[in-house]
Amino acid sequence: MPEVDRIGVVVPARDEADHVGACLAALAEAARHVTVPVEVVVVVNATLDATAAIARRHGARVLERSEPGVGAARAAGVATLLEGHDPTRTWIATTDADSRVPPAWLEHHLHLAAAGADAVVGTIVLPPDATPGHAAWWRHYQRGVDGGSHRHVHGANLGVHASAYRSVGGFATLPVHEDADLVHRVVAAGHRVVWTTEHSVVTSPRLVGRAPSGVAADLRAWSAPAG
């Protein structure tokens, strides 16, 4: 397979005016750590706030949709990124608008892709000042981490070679768990998946998220008093 010479990043965003600027600033810093072109598409779906305007000010390509749904948003973003481009030379990464990738995130993905990875599945962390308030959730999360590997799946920290992505049909238009569904199909198809705990993505500790089931729902469940 030819060497990857382009990265596309998809960021679904629904009413994320408070977070999307920091998300895109972090992606811009990560892009400075690689030598290949990086294009960011923010898919603004069913949004009433200034998310789209903020994303444009940060230089992102903005795709506005009236329909809600994170699966459809990620799928539309990837389709836009691949228009007119060679999938055999493109790496697709996804994160979330309430998350901040670390500086070496894209560099790490490219390194793993060059070593033969068809997909990279990473972990998340909470901001340092939020972790103590979510200690029970964090202990539970860490039980799923074994050394440098794990079995968590987050759209906030996910990458896939565009050829592998297309070969399994891409993101399904699911309201939740579109990330886990894609990874399941990539694994089932025999593609090489790297599960890494390096360069975790910092994600929001909010208790009410944009998807009906996700990290916010998990945090809320683990924060609820027993009884």
Neighbours of 196 (CB within 10 A): 19
> Residue 74: how many CA atoms within 13 Å on its side-chain side?
31
Q: Which domains does the chain have, with CATH numbers?
A: 6-221 (3.90.550.10)
**Pick from 196, 221, 208: nearest CA to 136:** 221
For 6-15, 138-147, 180-189, which range has the lowest pLDDT when averaged over its residues?
138-147
- Residue entry with tokens 């629904």: 14
The DSSP call for residue 143 is T
DSSP secondary structure of 89-133: GEEEEE--TTEE--TTHHHHHHHHHHTT-SEEE--EE--TTTGGG
AA identity, residue 217: A
AA identity, residue 64: E
Confidence (pLDDT) at 226: 45
Confidence (pLDDT) at 224: 56
Q: What is the pLDDT of residues 99-137, one digit of tens each?
A: 999 999 999 999 999 999 999 999 999 988 876 768 887
Burial of 112 (0-12, 13-18, 19+ CB in 10 A): buried
Structural contact between residues 106 and 33, judged by C-beta atoms closer than 8 angstroms: yes
Q: What is the pLDDT of residues 183-214, one digit of tens each?
A: 999 999 999 999 999 999 999 876 666 766 66
Is 58's pLDDT higher than 70?
A: yes
Confidence (pLDDT) at 148: 78
Confidence (pLDDT) at 227: 39
Radius of gyration of the chain (CA): 17
**Pick from 32, 23, 43, 31: nearest CA to 7:** 31
Structural contact between residues 97 and 16, judged by C-beta atoms closer than 8 angstroms: yes
**Pick from 48, 208, 183: nearest CA to 117:** 183
